[in-house]
A and B are shown apart, each in its own frame.
Chain A
């Protein structure tokens, strides 16, 4: 009998938490997709010039594209 009681109290408190969580999520401040998209585009645009995988730097400046072999002097 006691077990049943505590189970139902836990379920109730879990359900209450779920409702509170959903209330918070439902009523959060949002912006329009058009604005969000514009900002994503703007960020890309501002940084694409320095993106070494899109605007390749000369091979001599990218240590992975360089042809020279790395040797350690022992």
Chain B
């Protein structure tokens, strides 16, 4: 009756204790290969020189907290979304606004530019991810062509197109990630495993294959196989919510930013955390992280309004950038690495170079 499907010696208790001993085995195997620290190996690398990075543009126009932004592949246009429901497309060279749409919900926590540059995706408290084609016809109402693609059972926290305009990957407060076909709105794959809200995701650089990493309120970063839906690796060393995850440009590692005020680097082939970027004086959470083109620098935006620039290899901070007048909520380096953009609760976006 109730024992149908149960193998002879298997009980809930025995499975739980097997899980505990496997967790111990996992740590043991990881520890065996921990022969050196990254910053020790990096001792022989030349130190970086002085940095002069300033705000070169300020994008003003949002009426409330900026929550998310993304660059267009043309290295010039930017899409940003805010708490008041507005999504704006900017020309970052001129600071002109090219498109604007008002979502039917507030807290648009996620937005992304399509690889073709012809559409944007966004969502938030509406639990959906919607795609808007970008049109230059002044008579056309952008909102009219809106297409609802993803449906979650809680807020949308992150979204990203895959290699084409045809598929979108989403992360949600409902604890799952999902892959959707844009044209039909069909769910192609779902990713279950996080024990709480998923807050961020990043796709592996295309050369490295079909994987992505996600971070959540369960303090875990998980790496997924996009085709099978299976979790390949998971890392649990942060002490609080993981707000942001970003792949190292080679695809062999990824960085994370957390409410525990640290950023960390995890190497995928060594299967462990290999660096922590922290200082006693930094006590506010890191909301967003991104690498410079070579992977040598990690830019991280914090809830104390600053941006810290870290030497990824040596583990030291090389610069601290002031300018925003409230939390930095989002940060992305431009596709050609010439600048990075930060968005803040102070209603503005800044371009730094």
Which of A's residues lie within 8 Å of B, judged by CB? 5, 8-9, 11-13, 15-16, 18-19, 21-23, 25-28, 30-41, 43-45, 47-48, 50-54, 57, 62-65, 70, 72
Contacts and interface: CB of A to CB of B under 8 A. Distances in A.
Interface stretch (B28-36, B122-130, B134-142, B154-162): B28-36
Contacts of A28: 232-233, 271
A47 B295 contact: yes
Contacts, number: 172
Interface stretch (B100-108, B171-179, B183-191, B332-340): B332-340
8 contacts: A15-B19, A21-B193, A21-B231, A28-B233, A33-B34, A41-B41, A43-B249, A53-B297
B170 interface: no
Contact of A40 (B12, B15, B18, B267): B267
A36 B12 contact: no
A40 B274 CA distance: 11
Contacts of A21: 193, 231
Contacts of B2: 5, 8-9
A40 B38 contact: yes
Contact of A5 (B1, B96, B267): B1
Task: Give 3 closest A-B pairs by Cβ, nearest first.
Answer: A22-B22, A47-B294, A15-B15
Nearest to B6: A12
Dominant secondary structure at the B interface: loop
Contacts of B93: 63-64, 70
Nearest to B250: A43
A38 B41 contact: yes
Contact of A33 (B33, B294, B336, B338): B33
Interface string B8-37: 001010011011001101100110011111
A37 B94 contact: no
A48 B47 CA distance: 12
Contacts of B293: 47, 50-53
B296 A33 contact: no
A53 B10 CA distance: 57
Nearest to A21: B231
Nearest to A5: B2
Given A33-B33, A37-B36, A40-B252, A54 B295 contact: no
A32 B48 CA distance: 26
Interface in B241-291: 248-250, 252-253, 267, 269-272, 274
Given A18-B15, A70-B93, 12 more contacts: A5-B2, A26-B25, A26-B29, A28-B233, A37-B41, A39-B252, A40-B312, A43-B250, A44-B294, A51-B337, A53-B339, A64-B57
